[in-house]
Amino acid sequence: MPELPEVETVCRGLRTAMEGRVLTQVTARRPDLRFPLPPDFAERLRARRIERIDRRAKYIVVHLDDGQVLIMHLGMSGRMNLWAPQGGKDASGGEPPPLATHDHVIFEVGNGSRVVFHDPRRFGFMALTREEDLAAHPYFAHLGPEPLGDGFNPDYLSDVLGGKRTPIKAALLDQRVVAGLGNIYVCEALHMSGISPRRLACSVSGQRAERLVPAIRDVLERAIQAGGSSLRDYAQVDGELGYFQHSWKAYGREGEPCGQAGCSGTISRIVQSGRSTFFCNKHQR
């Protein structure tokens, strides 16, 4: 599933093509994705101007001129594919490609660009709400702070982890603790900060929290700059793959030398809560 850097990369691509422009046509080629689309979905979006596009956790949040907010989640295999007319910014050139079987929702904007939501497995979903109801929406009400925001700092992390006797890896994947983190980037941040994924969350405070918070920020920022990590289905809106997977120090590197400078250890793999965890026994404590 795309994680925070991948969703942020998609948001940045969509902003270039869609912010400030009118949705001239919206087409839903089926009534449902993971969940049913909202009633009159296409009609409610058509002729609306996109004021801005934000990201919250792993959600794409599109603010419209009439106070509606479109919430989108890519799910396991969802992509936003952008086609722009020749001569326009980020032009694709030529004619738009024919629609494919798993092209489910099509957004056309005033400059002639087209954004297609493509999702073979249909685990993605879309919802509509009002601006004033957004913070209390069931998708958002429980979320912790953004890991790249000011609210996520060593003091906050020490406080929120106090008393938690789950492994730190599981705690960081809890969206109530911090929003948007996923398996890949938690593995990478724990590796970078020298903290074992098996360590009890309540023991990650003080100096450990002071190491972990900047490690999380650094890993996420570098991943965003690299366009995210491309595994299986993920690609940027222009079809380009992310390349942060080439910078992984731990994730997916079982049996390889530890990527930490000065460490002679080897990356191990264990399973925690049904998910693979990659780490170095030697320098992660």
- Give, for 4, the enclosing helix (H) or strand (E): helix 4-18
Q: Which of 83, 79, 149 is nearest to 114 (CA)?
A: 83
Using CA atoms, how far apart are residues 30 and 32, in angstroms rounded to an integer?
Answer: 6
Helices (H), 180-226: 183-193, 207-225
Contact 25, 105 (CB under 8 A): no
- The phi and psi torsions of 110 (rounded to 5 degrees) equal -60, -20
Walk across the sheet containing 23-28 and list its strands.
23-28, 103-109, 114-118, 79-83
The residues annotated with a catalytic role in the active site are 2-3, 58, 275
